[in-house]
Amino acid sequence: MASISLRNVVKRYGTGAKANPVIHGVSAEIADGEFIVIVGPSGCGKSTLLRMVAGLEEISGGEIAIGGRVVNDTEPSERDIAMVFQNYALYPHMSVFDNMAYGLKIAKVALAEIKTRVDKAAKILELGPFLQRKPRELSGGQRQRVAMGRAIVRQPQVFLFDEPLSNLDAKLRAQTRLEIQKLHAELGVTSLFVTHDQVEAMTLAQRMIVMNGGRMEQIGTPEEVYHRPATTFVASFIGSPPMNLIPGLADGSRFSAGGQTLALPMAAPRAGELVLGLRPEHVELRQAGGTGWPLRVEALEMLGAERLVYGRLGETLFIVRIDATLTPPRVGDTVLLQAAPAQLHWFDAGTQQRV
């Protein structure tokens, strides 16, 4: 096992004035045995960053170190890493056993040692009954476990996962997430896991790196990222439904936004142009005739144990999450909102950074 250091890592395609920068100085320290999830929308650079750690992409600037050793110019085969891909990449003509053992055979590991390692990995991943089957005889979830088993038998310092659950249906994704959690708890190998799915990021990560446009917007535990987003992008990307963001003008305990003035339960941190953030679960619906922010209801969504209320706060779309046992408002009603004072988030209107 080993730590990973990313020190001002830069990636550019092309040279000179025509160079196209895609990774803009990412720095992070990943501890030995830590499980880090890199999350962000398509095209944000998360897979490129992972491939640079793997050695599949050259870096244009900065340093990458694994176990204290700078690996900028080290071949992938010499970095002591194992990678699990989105598309499984199994040999269709080989059995499960042979797929898992292939890398060890190429490395000329003794046959007895190969069998020991494959049997151990198969036991961990509950693949024992399938070792003599071909990939075509397996389900998608079983194929992904074979791909993980092939990585496990290598006994690497670092596991790299490149969106390994993307091809699975919702139920299999949930099951495989649990298997990955158990796998990391048992093996304790330093892991980098790339995904665009925030649910995967929140449930798997010990810490998560949120990427946007080739930049690291925030690094922290899922709780830190969810409850104290560093930027409006993080606030809008992490959370389902996302945080409500209302641009406006703050003046003490008043906030002018969307063509109306809202009375704040707690004064803004400063006067001037700000963005107010509020998660849908941190707002309560009040009875008519009381005090609160007027929300004109436009749509309702039933999600089993909870319900989402969509409406307009002045000109701004606003979402409220309520318990499904509560009597919902009707479309066209105007209801009053009461915001939790401790749950107001404030962002600079220009930089989009947390105030």
Q: How far apart are CA 309 and CA 214, in angstroms?
A: 34
Strand pairing class (20-30; 190-195): unpaired
Helix (H) or strand (E) holding 38: strand 35-39
63 and 119 part of one domain: yes
Q: What is the pTM of this model?
A: 0.90
Spatial separation of the C-alpha atoms in residues 113 and 272, rounded to whole Å: 68
Q: Which domain holds residue 182?
A: 4-237
- Of 183, 208, 237, which one is at a domain's C-terminal end? 237
The token duo for 352 is 């989009």
Residue 289 has what pLDDT? 63
CATH number at residue 176: 3.40.50.300
**Are 194 and 291 in a shared domain?**
no
Do residue 228 and residue 313 come from a single domain? no
Q: Is residue 11 part of a domain?
A: yes
User: Do 192 and 285 sit in the same domain of this protein?
Assistant: no
Residue 292 belongs to domain with CATH number: 2.40.50.140
- pLDDT digit of tens for each residue in the chain (355 aa)? 699 999 999 999 988 888 899 999 999 999 999 999 999 999 999 999 999 999 999 999 999 999 999 999 999 989 999 999 888 889 999 999 999 999 999 989 999 999 999 999 998 888 999 999 999 999 888 898 899 899 999 899 999 999 988 888 888 888 888 888 988 998 899 999 999 999 999 999 999 999 999 999 999 999 999 999 999 999 999 998 999 999 999 999 999 998 889 999 999 999 999 999 999 999 999 866 678 899 999 999 999 999 999 999 988 999 999 999 999 999 999 999 999 999 999 999 999 999 9
Looking at residue 166, its pLDDT comes to 84
DSSP sequence for 316-332: EEEEEEEETTSPPPPTT
- Domain co-membership, 168 together with 103: yes
Distance, in Å, from the CA atom of 291 to the CA atom of 225, rounded to the nearest integer, reads 32
Query: What are φ and ψ of residue 264, in 5° steps?
Result: -85, 140
In sequence order, which residues have a C-beta less than 8 Å from that of residue 268 and are 6 or more positions away?
250, 251, 252, 253, 255, 274, 276, 346
pLDDT at 24 (0 to 100): 95
b/e per residue 145-154 (b: at least 16 CB within 10 A): bbbbbbbbbb
Last residue of one domain, picked from the residues 206, 237, 268: 237
Domain shared by 155 and 258, yes or no:
no
Do 199 and 304 belong to one domain? no
**Which of 205, 237, 269 is the C-terminal boundary of a domain?**
237
Q: Does 354 reside within a domain?
A: no
The structural domain count of the chain equals 2
CA–CA distance, 148 with 80 (Å, rounded to integer): 16
Tell whether 145 and 21 lie within a shared domain.
yes
Residues 218 and 339 in one domain: no
Residues 165 and 173: beta-carbon distance below 8 Å: yes
DSSP bridge partners of 66 = 4, 69
